[in-house]
Structure 1
Amino acid sequence: MTAGTRGCTNAWTLWKEILPLGYKGSYQRVRAYLHDKRTSPRPVTAGPPSPRALAGWILRHPDTLTESEQLQLKSVRTRCPELDALTGHVRSFATMLTERQDDLPSLPTLAAGIHRDLDAVIAGLTLPWNSGVVEGHVNRIKMLKRQMFGRAGFDLLRKRVLLA
């Protein structure tokens, strides 16, 4: 692969490569051409939105978004069907909660349980610690117990748990 096809910006190298290809111009002309390319303003392109900004657009009420934010969210939703579905679910859930419309009779029970354990819910969502290791051991012990149901007594179960 030649330097010219890799996007070479060294004028001397590029001039040396294009001479055998039939270029009749001078080195100064190649140098001036590359100088113009380096100094000309490049079109400004906006990068993708940050995850935090995108989450904010999805979680806020659509009427509170600026026109620019609405256009950017619409662009993201058309490009990603998963985010489009997520936005629909979030908005329908918000409508359900704010307008107290629910087709799920257990939703008030869930909300009451979350409210009752609010400190634990906040701690679980914000603190870096979790009980995943303990839950893994409990799951493993329950699996061993299911495997040995009706086959052996507590002593053998105890040995399998301690040795596994």
Structure 2
Amino acid sequence: PKRGLLDPWREWLKEQRESGNYNASRIWREMVARGFTGSETIVRDAVAKWRKGWNPPVTTAVRLPSVSRVSRWLMPWRITRDEENYASRFISLMCEKEPELKIAQQLALEFYRILKTQNKSQLSSWFTRVHESGSAEFRRVAAGMEADAAAICEAISSHWSNGVVEGHVNRLKMLKRQMYGRAGFELLRQRVMSPLA
């Protein structure tokens, strides 16, 4: 008797199945609106048989790299050997989709070469290329750098560095944070002076 109720609906049910409609309740409501007199259970059982042969498409979650990792990959020498293939493919795809990223990478690499070769004469032409690039972020950075161009030129050509001083300042701040509210000035002084002695 159940089969007899669905017989007139076979073609219509086949269309629903081929269109990907596997919602038994919705199918039953549409059938009732068109004159079906059977129960929802009959339709639900028929749709359940469809599902047995139906495998939903499997989607695997792709974990995207973090922003800091991608920014590191933009400088090719910072890519580790184990991530080399993936990183180079990822960056080339990103540069295809976002041409501005490729320009930013080229400008960053040029500035790095200026620093490494200590060729401060190329700095003004680099500023010109940045302003012509169209990248608002790079232009903003370059405007700040141009305001302090004399110091940048000196940093490029000088062999002196304040890196050691900055390291000590960082260490002092760390010691101060660690000891905040725990000890007096004498203990702080001992901890500061002990590595220097």
What TM-score range do you get, normalising by the shorter chain?
0.3 to 0.5
CA radius of gyration, larger in = 2
TM-score, reference length from structure 1: 0.48
TM-score, reference length from structure 2: 0.41
